[in-house]
Amino acid sequence: MSNQQVPIQAEHFRIVTEPISVEEVISRVVHPHAGAINTFIGTVRELTRGRKTLYLEYEAYVSMAEKKLQQIGQEIGERWPNSRVAIFHRIGRLAISDIAVAIAVSTPHRADAYEASRYAIERIKDIVPIWKKEFWEDGEAWIGNQKETVAYPTGKPEGLE
């Protein structure tokens, strides 16, 4: 097997309004050359900084968000040979413990699958135009960047081409 970059497929990178089927996301990366599939599942957390969230709303610039998810898939393909990636992110109203994002990465060997999966979620938090609004008993607020790079001194997220 040669070290090659697998072409990405647009239908592996989706913004959805319905509940995410983790099985479906995983199924997109199943491949005979894979020896490992790593999944990351991001769920809605009830407590943030001691404050109780009742539910969340996610909003996206859907067309650009899907493009940026594809870009992340492309970057992973360049860094980890023979990897396959699928990322689904849900938008709309989500309840506590609902799945907000599911990432599946398959690679020939397990170390790469773990690393690439971590890379994917960190990049999502940097470059994909999706926003979260928390609703509490006593108020609501749009949540800004959670990686403390809010000001973007260069006008673009760090690490962007």
Partner 1 sequence: MIKVLFFAGVKEQIGQDFIELDDRGWTVGQLKHHLLEKYPQASESLANVMVSVNEEFADDGTKLHENDQVAIIPPVSGG
Q: How far is the CB of 79 from partner 1 (least distance, A)?
A: 19
Nearest approach, Cβ of residue 17 and partner 1 (Å) = 15
Please identify, using beta-carbon distances, which residue of 29 and 56 lies nearer to partner 1.
56
d(CA 87, CA 150): 24
Q: Which is nearer to partner 1, 37 or 100 (CB)?
A: 100
Q: Which is nearer to partner 1, 31 or 118 (CB)?
A: 118
Residue with tokens 């943030």: 48
Q: Exposed (0-12), middle (13-18) or buried (19+): which is 74, by Cβ within 10 Å?
A: middle
Q: Which of 124, 80, 67 is nearest to 106 (CA)?
A: 80
Q: Which residues contact 119 (CB under 8 A, 6 or more apart)?
A: 72, 75, 76, 79
Nearer to partner 1, 136 or 152 (CB): 152
Shortest CB 102 distance to partner 1, Å? 11
Interacting residues with partner 1 (CB under 8 A): 42, 58-61, 63-65, 67, 89, 100-101, 121, 124-133, 142-146, 149-152, 154-157, 160
Quote the least distance from Cβ 64 to partner 1, whole Å.
4
Q: Do residues 45 and 65 make contact, with C-beta atoms less than 8 angstroms apart? A: no
